Amino acid sequence: MTVDDSGAPVVPTHHPAPVRPRSAWSRPLGALLMAAPVALIALFGLGLLAAYSLRDRTASSPAPQTLTVTATPKTPNPADAPDNRFLAALASYGIADNGTESVRQRFMEFGHHTCFTLLPPKPQPLAATVSTILTEENNDVVAGNPWSPKFTYDDAEHLAQAAIGAYCPDVPR
């Protein structure tokens, strides 16, 4: 069956319909839309697991709570405080603070500095600490502080010994 009667059969050729190309965003967008709920469910599950593992199990303990109260043998005496012991030791050595709070504070500063320099990690010799105290106190006098007493070497040494006795008794003398 030929139109021009050449004797060869004519077979119709099939042309497929053109495929519309997908946009570049359609595949990643679909993956994102599928992954977002999965990620949210996973985060929610991890949050529940963390809340369960971090909860305080002692709060729901079946044992009753106990409280132990012990009486102290005596009320602490304010005179036993380290600062008061230190100032009393200075007074016994004849080192007066002249009734001035700033001088008392400066003496306590020297006392704490003494312990700091004599204790580890880098302990210094007592003589070096005494020399530092002597120099600093006499510098205060030279600077014009009318309440600071002039120190002798013995005064500085007594201050260091009083500091060791009150603030750091474990330091070897």
30-64, pLDDT tens digit by residue? Answer: 777 888 888 889 888 888 888 877 776 665 555 56
Give me the domain span that covers residue 127: 100-167
CA 28, 29, 31, 37 dihedral sign is positive
**Residue 133, domain member (yes or no):** yes
- Split into its structural domains, the chain has a count of 1
**Residue 67, domain member (yes or no):** no
pLDDT of residue 108: 95
Contacts of 153 (CB under 8 A, 6+ apart): 130, 134
**Residue 85, domain member (yes or no):** no
**Residue 17, domain member (yes or no):** no
Rounded Cα distance between 148 and 137, Å, is 7
Give the pLDDT band (50/70/90) at residue 169: very high
Percent of the chain's residues with pLDDT above 90: 40
Question: Would you say 8 and 1 are in contact if contact means Cβ atoms under 8 Å apart?
Answer: no
Question: Would you say 151 and 134 are in contact if contact means Cβ atoms under 8 Å apart?
Answer: yes
pLDDT of residue 105: 94
> Across the chain, what does the average pLDDT equal?
82
* Backbone dihedral angles phi then psi of residue 145, each to the nearest 5 degrees: -75, 110
**Residue 6, domain member (yes or no):** no
**Residue 104, domain member (yes or no):** yes
pTM above 0.95, yes or no: no
pLDDT higher for 24 or 47?
47
**Residue 127, domain member (yes or no):** yes
Question: Would you say 52 and 124 are in contact if contact means Cβ atoms under 8 Å apart?
Answer: no
Q: Which of 141, 81, 77 is nearest to 111 (CA)?
A: 81
Q: How many residues does the chain have?
A: 173
Question: Would you say 171 and 164 are in contact if contact means Cβ atoms under 8 Å apart?
Answer: yes
Q: Could you read off the pLDDT of 109-140 as tens digits, one per residue?
A: 999 999 999 998 889 999 999 999 999 999 98
> Collapsing DSSP states into helix, strand and coil, what is residue 74?
coil
CA 50 to chain centre: 26
CA 116 to chain centre: 21
**Residue 43, domain member (yes or no):** no
Q: Which of 115, 112, 110 is nearest to 172 (CA)?
A: 115
